[in-house]
């Protein structure tokens, strides 16, 4: 938990610094919007975390999110060109398609032994093309149905805003279930074992192919849930929704302490990493520094520069930690061997 505690304190210091520069950072409207954004990112970042802990990668998650919203709009919206069926039919079909995509990718990776990077990269482009075909290069409105108010509604309203938006409640349920599955079940232990050493897990009798394929289904399923939230939040869907979403998810997972080598990471860390990503994104807009009569602000064109730098720093730190731990284990093993040799030398014959 040391890494998670360190990231949490870094998050608190970041929030304190942004608040000191701009008190509007902690006003009700910004807090509600930020928590909603953190929740929607965190939902699918947790799914990506399952895949990364096994040593895989999922680059198609953004396209799955976009396709989920597109299918819901196409099936359930009453706009021109849409089918107008029940919203539950739209959600059911969209979630079924999302999980089938995850299953197909998982089987390609585990049964045909294809590289996860190539499979999910191809899936990303293929799924995005399907979304573009469904919307015919335009947009589909979701207005006119109660579902459109899902992202903006919630529980315990205060001053016109919900203190617990529905995306946040959904995220809390995802956190609880994912924590139980990953940290308190046999399946979770198998996920870590596969990430630690795939060959050792296979030799120990773990059904590596089934467990690994299941993580891709989990990732796609949580991507579908996030897609439902994003569809309600944006109010209209196009093939542009979901583009680039895989990068913040991977960054949140890495920032949260999951190693890209696999075998490491916690749900709590992913939650903290998701919060850090959205705080950084929001902080670039909110940060200001008063110098005399002038107010200096960050250039929003720096967004990708700052986020990219944060990701690189996280990866470098992860590598440094592994190098230090490796040297420490080697030194301790050498000390144990030396102690045993000395013991043999003084043992009477």
pLDDT digits (tens, 9 = 90+) for 133-159: 988 878 888 866 777 778 778 887 777
Tell me whether residue 294 is in a domain: no
> What DSSP designation does 82 have?
S
First to last CA, the chain: 48
Question: Tell me, what's the pLDDT at 101?
Answer: 96
Tell me whether residue 203 is in a domain: yes
Q: Which two three-digit tokens encode residue 127?
A: 């799924």
* Alpha carbons within 13 A on the beta-carbon side of 196: 13
Q: What residues contact 217, with CB distance under 8 A and at least 6 apart?
A: 99, 102, 103, 106
CB-CB contact of 232 with 94 (8 Å): no
- How many domains would you assign to the chain? 1
CA–CA dist 303, 283 (Å, integer) = 10
Phi, psi of 256 (to 5 degrees): -80, 0
Tell me whether residue 347 is in a domain: no
The secondary structure of 207-260 as a DSSP string is -HHHHHHHHHHHHHHHHHHHHHHHHHHHSEE-TTTTTTTHHHHHHHHHHTT--T
**Comparing 302 with 232, which gets the higher pLDDT?**
232
Q: Is the pLDDT of residue 88 over 80?
A: yes
* Alpha carbons within 13 A on the beta-carbon side of 319: 6
Q: Give the lowest-confidence range in 128-137, 141-150, 269-278, 283-292.
A: 141-150
CA–CA dist 278, 128 (Å, integer) = 24
Task: State CA 140 to chain mean position distance.
Answer: 26
Tell me whether residue 200 is in a domain: yes
Question: Tell me, what's the pLDDT at 344?
Answer: 61
189 torsion bin: left (phi>0), alpha (psi -120 to 50), beta (else):
alpha
Tell me whether residue 18 is in a domain: no
Tell me whether residue 121 is in a domain: yes
Q: Which two three-digit tokens encode residue 136?
A: 């015919």
Tell me whether residue 311 is in a domain: no
pTM: 0.88
Q: Once rounded to an integer, what is the mean pLDDT over residues 61-81? A: 89
Q: Once rounded to an integer, what is the mean pLDDT over residues 301-311? A: 80
Give the pLDDT band of residue 185 (cuts 50, 70, 90): very high
The pLDDT tens digits for 216-227 are 999 999 999 999
Question: Tell me, what's the pLDDT at 91?
Answer: 93
Q: Is the pLDDT of residue 348 over 70?
A: no
Full domain range(s) for residue 260: 28-271
Q: Once rounded to an integer, what is the mean pLDDT over residues 29-40? A: 90
Tell me whether residue 71 is in a domain: yes
CB-CB contact of 18 with 26 (8 Å): no
C-alpha dihedral sign at 137, 138, 144, 149:
positive
What residue has token string 């539950």? 88
Q: Once rounded to an integer, what is the mean pLDDT over residues 219-246? A: 89
């Amino acid at each position: 938990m040391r890494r998670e505690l360190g990231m949490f304190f870094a998050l608190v210091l970041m929030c304190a610094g942004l608040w000191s520069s701009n008190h509007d950072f902690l006003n009700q409207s910004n807090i509600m919007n930020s928590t909603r954004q953190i929740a929607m990112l965190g939902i699918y970042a947790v799914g990506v975390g399952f895949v990364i802990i096994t040593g895989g990668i999922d680059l198609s998650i953004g396209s799955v999110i976009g396709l989920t919203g597109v299918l819901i709009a196409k099936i359930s919206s009453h706009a021109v060109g849409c089918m107008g069926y029940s919203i539950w039919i739209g959600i059911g079909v969209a979630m079924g398609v999302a999980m089938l995509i995850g299953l197909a990718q998982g089987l390609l990776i585990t049964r045909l032994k294809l590289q996860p990077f190539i499979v999910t990269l191809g899936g990303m482009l293929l799924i995005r093309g399907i979304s573009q075909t469904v919307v015919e290069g335009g947009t589909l409105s979701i207005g006119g149905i109660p579902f459109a108010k899902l992202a903006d509604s919630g529980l315990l309203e205060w001053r016109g805003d919900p203190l617990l938006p529905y995306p946040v409640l959904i995220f809390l349920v995802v956190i609880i279930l994912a924590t139980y599955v990953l940290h308190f079940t046999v399946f979770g232990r198998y996920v870590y074992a596969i990430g630690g050493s795939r060959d050792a897990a296979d030799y120990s009798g773990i059904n590596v192919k089934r467990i690994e394929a299941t993580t891709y289904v989990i990732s796609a399923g949580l991507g579908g849930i996030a897609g439902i939230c994003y569809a309600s939040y944006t109010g209209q869907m196009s093939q542009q929704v979901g583009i680039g979403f895989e990068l913040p998810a991977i960054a949140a997972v890495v920032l949260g302490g999951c190693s890209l080598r696999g075998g490491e990471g916690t749900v709590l860390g992913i939650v903290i990493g998701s919060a850090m990503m959205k705080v950084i994104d929001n902080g670039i807009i909110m940060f200001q520094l008063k110098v005399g009569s002038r107010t200096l602000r960050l250039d929003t064109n720096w967004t990708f520069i700052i986020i990219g730098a944060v990701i690189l720093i996280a990866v470098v730190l992860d590598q440094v930690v592994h190098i230090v731990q490796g040297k420490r284990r080697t030194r301790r093993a050498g000390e144990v061997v030396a102690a045993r040799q000395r013991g043999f030398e003084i043992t009477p014959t």
